[in-house]
Chain A
Amino acid sequence: MIIAEQKPLDEIMGLLGSDERVLVVGCGTCVTVCFAGGAREAAIVAASVRMTSKLNSVPREVTDVTVQRQCEWEYLDEIKEQISDADIILSLGCGIGVQAIAERFPDKWVVPGLNTTFLGMPTEQGVWIERCAACGDCVLGITGGICPIARCSKSLLNGPCGGSEDGHCEINPDIDCAWQLIYDRLSRLGRLDALLELQPPKNWSTSRDGGPRKITRDDLRLAAEEE
């Protein structure tokens, strides 16, 4: 899922400027699961903004609402009246949610309350780790199900650099060396031969390097038209 974390309150206050009526919009999907921008967090952020504004004698009316998915028009349409009543929208969705609001409500100013950080998963209560870089050309089939693009600091494709020590990456002991993990897993499964083959330069055009990406599924489009 998409992992995000809240921006510092000071930054949020700066983004809100002097706009009076603030609508905090949470999202019920990924950012709810990672405790960054669900209904609970939206209420807390709304209360924090309210309190800080009061302390600073800034006139302000803050309400909050959470939609099931900020990244789909149909859910945003459910709150269009609340949006229209607000001077500014503070989105607690990921970057996609913020943009969905901006696109759906062209006359409304929207600011982000989160930093969208990565695609990952929780590994223990309160800890999330990046797992996928959405490169568009999955290599997990040759690396034993461990992604070196997302999880190696240098996105190496041909094995560990010289900075691997005791299973950690030299840039930060909190980071596992992805290639140590790959090596250990292939070793356990008796598939180390896979590491001996030279992997050619990656086709990055399927990644962000190929420009903003788009998928068009004609089968689904036609089906939608028929409905």
Chain B
Amino acid sequence: MSNATSSNGYLVGSNLEKVLKAGHFAVTGELGPPQSADGQEIRHKAAILKGNCDAVNITDNQTAIVRMSSIGAGTIVVQEGLEPIIQMTCRDRNRLAIQSDLLGAYALGMRNLLCLTGDHQSFGNHPTAKNVFDIDSLQLVKLVSDMRDSAVFASGEAFKGPEARFFVGAAAAPFADPTEFRPYRLAKKIAAGANFIQTQLVYDIPAFAVYMEKVRSMGLHEQAYILAGVGPLKSPGMARYMKNQVPGILVPDKVIDRMNRASAPWADIPKEELTTEDKKARSQAWKDEGIRICIDLINELKEIKGVAGVHIMAIEWEEAVQPIVEGAGLLPRPVVAT
């Protein structure tokens, strides 16, 4: 880890850093800002997640759909007593905008940052927009680390006053192509200054174990905290979609089978004869099984050496986080004194 710690031994002293440094199995969640100016929705979601996560990612126009800014929403999350991890993508801002936003974020009390390249705008609701990509995620990691450890801007100029200090995160996609390169790309992110890593969704434990074996052989788990990404499935259709349509996500057939078995009581009823109550009950059965699968995955991930925690992505389903964390035996969340 970087040596540029404060006198208290922490780089930044965020709750996430403290929990990880104390050796606890960390839990991060995700809070997606609304496609509106509704601050109340942020407060509502924060209340659901509070106490169940050590920190929550605030997404930055995720999937290139315009939403409340991550720093704006993060400010409300701070007010609600929950710790945000600000996501910052390189799609919408050049290096000037990124840095000035980060100065503001720090001044507003944000201490964790996840550096992302960002989804291409062609996936979102403004596909004709111009993209930026002035810098990439690795260069962003380096930029933010240099802000904290050397108190300099990307230009090399020194801060005129207190520097912005963030606990720096980066993403990893263990199963994206070319897979042989993925551990090296992770190494590159860590060398650039990443303190913690959140991975893409993991459903295939044996495949992830192979990846982690390589990661450990390179000593990377000792240089950054690696949080495995998990997420509850809502239906067999969602599982199939992830398997077939989303690059870099492996969903084993046995997971899809489990989801299918959950709806066995309704399997023999012809589609047109399913009542609204049937569909509701079936959906609930799927969600329950999705949560159970997620708990099982976390329990298996806990056994993989080098996994420092989990990042739970329950997108637009924040209510699932509490039963998952509780089911995995991870409640109450630790409180680490300074």
Contact = CB atoms under 8 A, between A and B. Distances in A.
Interface of A: 153-167, 170-172, 177, 179-180, 183-184, 192, 195-196, 198-202, 204
Contact of A164 (B136, B176, B188, B200): B176
5 contacts: A156-B136, A158-B138, A165-B176, A171-B122, A198-B139
Contact of B117 (A161, A166, A201, A204): A161
B79 to A, nearest CB: 32
B95 A201 contact: yes
Contacts of B91: 154
B176 A158 contact: no
Given A162-B247, A172-B122, A179-B178, 16 more contacts: A153-B122, A156-B117, A157-B139, A158-B138, A161-B173, A163-B119, A163-B247, A163-B248, A165-B177, A165-B247, A192-B181, A192-B184, A195-B181, A199-B138, A201-B95, A202-B135
A200 B95 CA distance: 12
Contacts of B135: 201-202
Most chain B CB atoms below 10 A, which of A155, A161, A166: A161
Given A164-B176, A166-B177, A180-B177, A158 B139 contact: yes
Contact of B181 (A160, A166, A201): A160
Most chain B CB atoms below 10 A, which of A162, A164, A166, A180: A162
Contact of A158 (B119, B120, B136): B136
B241 interface: no
Most chain A CB atoms below 10 A, which of B131, B173, B177, B191: B177
A156 B133 CA distance: 8
Interface in B150-206: 154, 171, 173, 176-178, 181, 184-185, 187-188, 191-192, 200
A200 B156 CA distance: 12
A183 to B, nearest CB: 5
B123 interface: yes
A154 B131 contact: yes
B278 interface: no
A126 B266 CA distance: 53
Contacts of A159: 138, 181, 185, 188
A47 B90 CA distance: 48
A16 B231 CA distance: 57
B134 interface: yes
Interface residues of B, number: 35
A139 B187 CA distance: 22
A163 B176 CA distance: 7
A154 B92 CA distance: 12
B142 interface: yes
Contacts of B176: 160-165
Contact of B191 (A167, A180, A198, A204): A198
B185 A160 contact: yes
A195 B247 contact: no
A155 B122 contact: no
A204 B134 CA distance: 8
Contacts of A192: 181, 184
A103 B314 CA distance: 59
Report the 9 A-B pairs with minimum CB-CB distance, sorted nearest first: A162-B173, A165-B247, A158-B138, A162-B176, A164-B177, A201-B135, A156-B136, A162-B248, A183-B178
Given A154-B131, A170-B247, A196 B187 contact: yes
B173 A198 contact: no
Nearest to A177: B177
A157 B136 contact: yes
B184 A196 contact: yes
